[in-house]
Amino acid sequence: MREYDSGTDESSNLQNRFTAYLVTAVGRRKAQYRRSKAQQYYRQIEIAIVIQDDHETFQAEPDMTTGLPLLDQLENAKLRQSLANAKDRELYIFLAKALEGRSFPEIAAKLDIGHNTVASIYYRMITRLIKELGGEDV
């Protein structure tokens, strides 16, 4: 017949105390880790706020390109040429998505075409710009 450990002898008592110690130590370590991560997060936020405050107080030169047509505002000649060579519909879709943040269905409704067509045109335009500007191999 098998005897079950009742937990009353010296070795069981020592094992139970050690287990309780380990559980407490691990719990404290988890809490310390969470506190350190929270402190890192708050430090990053503080740095971002300081940088933003510094940026807002900095008086920049007035932008001389304000009021010019979009393509004339671009400093990168290759990008300016690539966008100038694009068809009107491609350029509209690209600018509506990239600059205005419109969704594909919204652009599609405006142009009265399917949203998959809009997405295809947009991604082809991105691919072409990357190739023409000497970016990643696509």
| pLDDT value of position 119 | 93
Residue 110 makes CB contacts below 8 A (sequence gap 6+) with: 96
Per-residue pLDDT of the chain (138 residues; tens, 9 = 90+): 556 556 567 777 888 888 888 888 888 888 888 888 777 777 766 666 666 655 555 555 555 555 555 655 666 677 777 788 888 888 889 888 888 888 999 999 999 999 999 999 999 988 888 888 887 654
| pLDDT value of position 120 | 93
Would you list the domain boundaries of the chain? 7-60, 70-132
The CATH number that domain 70-132 falls under is 1.10.10.10
| pLDDT value of position 108 | 93
Distances (CA, A) of 33 to 25, 73, 111: 12, 49, 53
As given in the structure block, the two tokens for residue 11 are: 């070795």
- 3-state secondary structure (DSSP) of residue 113: coil
| pLDDT value of position 138 | 44
